[in-house]
Structures are given as C-alpha cells and as structure tokens.
Amino acid sequence: MQPASGGDDSPPGGESGPASAWDAETLVSRVTAILHGRGERMTGPRRAVLASLAGVRGHRSAEDVVSAVADGAPGVHRASVYRALDALVEIGVVQHVHLGHGATAYHLVDALGPHLHLQCHDCGAVLDVPASLLGGVARRLRREHGFDLDAGHVALSGTCDRCRT
C-alpha cells in the first residue's frame, strides 16, 4: 500500500503510518483482508474510522476521529466509532497512546509496527521514535523483575529541543 504522499512505507499490520496520509480505498481493502483472515468483517463504522485516519498525518484524539466520521458518515453513532477504534487497535492496524493528562491519541500503524512516543510537556509536540529505543530496558525488566514493558501505550514526557533552547 502506498501512502498518498508518494512514499514507499506500508500500513496496518504492516500498512500505514502516522507520518503519512494513506489512500483510504487501499487501506480499507488491506484491512478488510486482515479482518476476513480473522473471521471478522469490515463494518461501516470501521470503514469510516479508517477513512478518517487515512487522510491525516500524525495523531488524532478520539473526539477528532468522532468528528471526522460525523462529517463523512453522519449515520455512524459515536459509540460505534469507539468500538471500531478498539477493534482496529486489537488487530494491530491502529495504535493508541495515552498522552499527557490521560488524553488518548490514535494513528495508523506503519510497516515497522507500533512505536514509542515522546511528548514535550511545554509545547505538547509528540515525536515518534523506534520501539527498539527501550529494548534493553524492556529485556532487563523482564529478566530482573518478570515484567513485560508496554512502553508504546503511553508517551514519555520531557522537553523537546525547540523548547529547551
């Protein structure tokens, strides 16, 4: 699947990314195949949520997704949007991350899979970084404490370069 911006990354389950906007039809087709492979189906709300995420770069709040879906598919109830987001996260097509003060953001997963997020506590900017960045920490936590780290679920807080200078 090609991003609308002309890059050569792939999305969900290896098909889309927060840094690129994706062709919605191609994305829906890919995700439909993933769902069918799991014995599930592509519903109207899932299609609408994917279309809303495909056309944007970066991270969107659940309310942003609800609003975008309401604009493009006014018959889809907000509860259905939340269920669709949960289902797409469950199959690995969408990643969610808890940003400062509990806000949750969503984005399509790129070909490399889920990644980590850094959030500047001054300006609120969110930076994407490779999951491997904390690989050593995750291995040590597992070995020494029997703890499996899920660092992609929350943003690490700090100060970005722009705010620090």
Instruction: Name the stretches of the chain with pLDDT < 50.
Output: 1-20
Q: Do domains 24-108 and 116-164 have the same CATH topology?
A: no
0.85 surpassed by pTM: no
CA dist list (Å): 68 to 49, 60, 63, 81, 109: 8, 10, 9, 10, 19
**Residues 8-53: tens digit of each pLDDT:** 334 444 333 343 456 888 889 999 999 999 999 999 999 999 999 9
Q: Which residues pair with 129 in a beta bridge?
A: 116
Query: Is 24-108 CATH 2.60.40.790?
Result: no
Q: What fold does the segment set 116-164 form as a domain?
A: Dna Ligase; domain 1 (3.30.1490)
> Which pLDDT score is estimated for 124?
87
> Which pLDDT score is estimated for 138?
92
Domain range annotation of the chain: 24-108, 116-164
